[in-house]
Structure 1
Amino acid sequence: MAFSEALVRRIRKAVEHQTVEEKKMFGSLAFLVNGKICLTAGPERMMCRIDPKLHEQEVKRNGCATAVMRGRNYKGYIHVQEENLQNEKDFNHWVNLALVFNKQLISS
């Protein structure tokens, strides 16, 4: 399975204080926080599960695209190219969006 080891390390560190399960899926290493897909480390990209209401504004950021699985666009799932995550501020932006939405999922 080809996923970015550097992204895996960064995501592990970012979610180390959460209840996390790692699972290989979709050609990536998924990080399930509180039993819900939150982030994935893929080949040269990270996927973030965010609030679908924020999707249209966030997908416009550099290096971003809507996740497509089996020919279907998934609103609320955004791929971010690894080159656009080099800055710690940018990386944290995406991780925080995913963690905030994860809390909404488990509270409903």
Structure 2
Amino acid sequence: MSYDEQLAQRIRESLAELPDVAEKTMFKGLTFMVNDKMCISVRNDDIMCRLNPDLQEEVLSRNGTSEMIHNGRSMKGFIYVNKTVLKTKADLDYWINLSLEYNTVAKSAKKKK
């Protein structure tokens, strides 16, 4: 598991006021679950944001972003943002807020039995 601990700490601080946040090791990094739903992850030098799939094309036009590819296919609603474009709190908060906004309507993953 490899992730930028300073970036993870910045996310922790941004989510600190929320009532239902948990951290899990997933996707070879650290994932922040909000309301029992995956919200944002840190992996290597990137954050992975879960956001409204309708915004995918728009956000991928921004610097430092790339689509998430899993098993050879693009995962709609999941994007990577490189830490090089997350220099300020406002830069990071933009992505966290997009992820939190979608979290309110996102479906929870099915619980494993």
TM-score by length of 2: 0.89
Cα deviations by residue, 1:22-73 (Å, 9 ceiling, x for unpaired): 1111111001100111000110000111100111101110000011122221
Residue 28 of structure 1: aligned partner: 29
Task: Select between 36-45 and 11-20 the one with higher mean Cα deviation.
Answer: 11-20
Is the helix fraction higher in 1 or 2?
1
The one-letter amino acid paired with 2:97 is N
How many angstroms apart in 2 are the aligned matches of 1:26 and 1:89? 25
CA RMSD of aligned residues (A): 1.1
How many angstroms apart in 1 are the aligned matches of 2:10 and 2:70? 25
Task: Select between 17-26 and 49-58 the one with higher mean Cα deviation.
Answer: 17-26
**Structure 1 unmatched runs, 5+:** none
The aligned runs of 1:1-108 (5 Å cut-off) are: 1-18=1-18, 19-105=20-106
How many angstroms apart in 1 are the aligned matches of 2:73 and 2:24? 22
Identity of aligned residues (%): 37
The structure that has the greater radius of gyration is: 2
Q: Secondary structure at the match of 1:104?
A: coil
**Structure 2 unmatched runs, 5+:** 108-113
Deviation at 1:93, TM superposition (A): 0.6
Aligned residues: 106
